[in-house]
Amino acid sequence: MAGPGLATTFSVALNGVHGEVVEVQATIRSGLPCTTLAGLPDVAVTEARHRCRAAVVNSGLKWPEQVLVVGLFPASLPKTGTMYDLGIALATLAAAGTLPAGDIASTVMLGELALDGRVRSLPGILPATLAAQQQGVSRVMVPEANAAEAQIVPDMEVVAVRSLRHAVAVLCGEEIPDEVETFTLLEARQAWTSLRCVDDLDLVDVLGQVEARHCVEVAAAGGHHLLLEGPPGAGKTMLAERLPGLLPDLLLEESLEVSGIHSVAGLLSRHAPLIVRPPFLDPHHTASSPAIVGGGGKVLRPGALSLAHRGVLFMDEAPEFQARILEAVRQPLESRQVTISRSERSAVFPAAFQLVLAANPCPCGYDWSTSDRCECTPAAKRRYRDRISGPVRDRIDIHRRVNPARRQELHDDLLVAETTATVAARVREARARQAHRYRGTRWRRNAEVPGSALRSRWLVRARRVADLEDQLAQGRLSARGVDRVLRLCWTLADLAGRAEPDDRDVEMAAGMHGAEALRLDSWQRERDTRQALRPADDLDAVGRS
């Protein structure tokens, strides 16, 4: 309980996207003027005593000219960053009697103070507000520039302040000072985003690739990872960029989770603080390991693996990435999270992304069935292919060879090509069937279901499953590979509206997981079926063209 010369407020310590409420206590006693910060502060927190003093004085308020001790509790928890500035300054003013101590004791204070008293915006306000709510706090004071993301959190009273004078006026019940908002460089940076908007791209643009388009549809429906191999210009990048448009909107819980990650990274737009569409990340192959995996010194930041959480991570020219980066992707494909460890601390970031790899067949890119332009040696081709290791390939559900479309295929595909809206509707229906099937479990998509559950609760009873067991016995297919084929079987059945997979689904799923081309007759049957369903007027129009 606060007494004379003692005041308490609260802030939040972030570790990755997880936060813990920190108690900020300030006490004043007689003695030569000095300020001491206790509670494992880093350099940025230690320097808060200078920032807070300058902000208080330049705001026309009085800094106590006595011994000031500020404690941050739990004392054993390392404190990093500048998020504690506002809490330290207000606790000090309350201890000095400038503010009513009771008004700040039930509020979490988040914000960095400039020397002129402005409250600057910060990354990580959304996860910090979520952490405060989860620990029973119902009121939070945040920078005005971050108010939109804090207001996303339900049942939370958000007090947005522009300056220290503004905060003092709110707490004292006085008239709010008339100040002009200054748009700083940090706010400008938060208006940027690392995401590319690809939702307006249409799948119908990728003509001549019926089988590859169907693979993208299956990947979207079941949340499967996808590997596209083929020469330049075949359409690999176009296919990958159109995958996010097939995915349904994020659920509220997922939106908060994704938005929190982007808030910690400082990439959340102040104008659109809630991310409702699955993110799409396509890092360049020259990107560093911290940019892909995440990292940092005292403050650990998420990389592309976590920024693509609940969305798509597209690695174009995958063999050109550093080998250690490709191997770093392997573990999150199974664990669905990234752990970043440093000598003093570690952080865990969610990383449940959908991986899409695109690769050329050889260093020159022209090693495909009817081309004679390739001059690469067999050894060079093998080394290039081996840059994507066997363990990484085995974790990819769908392997598809994408060859350039021929002239006749481009013309014929006009009869069956479907828009993104049409395919996305089927994907939503397939996702609804999965949600119904897995209700009461922690899984939502076929790609998330473990093999043990597939063999016990959702057994594939088709006769052709025995062929998979034979390939497993012969060493041509790993146990993990069998599980991925079974998941694909369920996704194909969901897209077709069948209650359970049949032999056709097993055959096609096995072909999708293999590196070889799928059987042409299966695709030809599907093409003929779709063509038969097209209205006669459309067929006549295509014929006239």
pLDDT in tens, 273-296: 899 999 999 999 999 999 999 988
Say what the pLDDT of residue 543 is.
40
Q: Is residue 544 part of a domain?
A: no
Say what the pLDDT of residue 185 is.
44
Are both 235 and 308 inside the same structural domain? yes
pTM for the predicted model, two decimal places: 0.86
Are both 246 and 160 inside the same structural domain? no
Mean pLDDT of 166-194: 66
The answer, yes or no, to whether residue 313 has pLDDT greater than 50, is: yes
Are both 180 and 262 inside the same structural domain? no
Count Cβ neighbours within 10 Å for each residue of 499-514 and write b for 16 or more, e otherwise: eebbebbbbbbbbbbb
Q: Is residue 389 part of a domain?
A: yes
The answer, yes or no, to whether residue 465 has pLDDT greater than 50, is: yes
Are both 236 and 115 inside the same structural domain? no
**Residue scoring higher pLDDT (12 or 514):** 12
Are both 308 and 173 inside the same structural domain? no
Kindly report the CATH number assigned to the domain that includes residue 487.
3.40.50.300
Say what the pLDDT of residue 101 is.
81
Domain boundary among 190, 221, 251: 190
Q: What is the pLDDT of residues 420-440, one digit of tens each?
A: 999 999 999 999 999 999 999
Q: Are 153 and 42 in contact (CB under 8 A)?
A: no
DSSP state letters, 188-224? HHHT--S----TT--GGGSTT-HHHHHHHHHHHHHT-
Kindly report the CATH number assigned to the domain that includes residue 24.
3.30.230.10
The answer, yes or no, to whether residue 4 has pLDDT greater than 70, is: no
Q: Is residue 518 part of a domain?
A: yes
Mean pLDDT of all residues in the chain?
88
The answer, yes or no, to whether residue 184 has pLDDT greater than 60, is: no
Are both 510 and 456 inside the same structural domain? yes
Mean pLDDT of 229-254: 94
Say what the pLDDT of residue 288 is.
92
Say what the pLDDT of residue 181 is.
54
Residues with Cβ < 8 Å from 470, sequence gap 6 or more? none
Are both 267 and 374 inside the same structural domain? yes
Q: Is residue 539 part of a domain?
A: no
Are both 209 and 323 inside the same structural domain? yes
Alpha helices in 245-397 (DSSP H): 252-264, 289-293, 304-307, 323-335, 378-385, 390-394
Domain boundary among 190, 212, 247: 190
Q: Is residue 286 part of a domain?
A: yes
Q: Is residue 312 part of a domain?
A: yes
Which segments within 305-424 are labelled E, that is strand? 312-315, 337-341, 346-350, 354-359, 398-401
Are both 471 and 425 inside the same structural domain? yes
Q: Would you say the C-alpha torsion 98, 102, 105, 108 has a positive or negative sign?
A: negative
Say what the pLDDT of residue 182 is.
52
Intra-chain end-to-end CA distance of the chain, in Å: 83
Are both 163 and 304 inside the same structural domain? no
Domain boundary among 168, 190, 212: 190
Say what the pLDDT of residue 193 is.
43
pLDDT band per the 50, 70, 90 thresholds, residue 60: very high
Q: Is residue 339 part of a domain?
A: yes
Q: Is residue 198 part of a domain?
A: no
Q: What is the pLDDT of residues 481-533, one digit of tens each?
A: 999 999 999 999 999 999 999 999 999 999 999 833 334 344 444 445 444 44
Say what the pLDDT of residue 538 is.
45
Say what the pLDDT of residue 183 is.
44
- Full residue range of the structural domain in which residue 18 is found: 6-190
Are both 58 and 22 inside the same structural domain? yes
Structure token pair of residue 544: 């006239």
Are both 288 and 403 inside the same structural domain? yes
Of the listed ranges 88-102, 115-129, 460-474, 518-532, the least confidently predicted one is 518-532
Residues with Cβ < 8 Å from 536, sequence gap 6 or more? none
Q: What is the pLDDT of residues 71-104, one digit of tens each?
A: 999 999 999 999 999 999 999 999 999 998 877 8
Domain count, the chain: 2
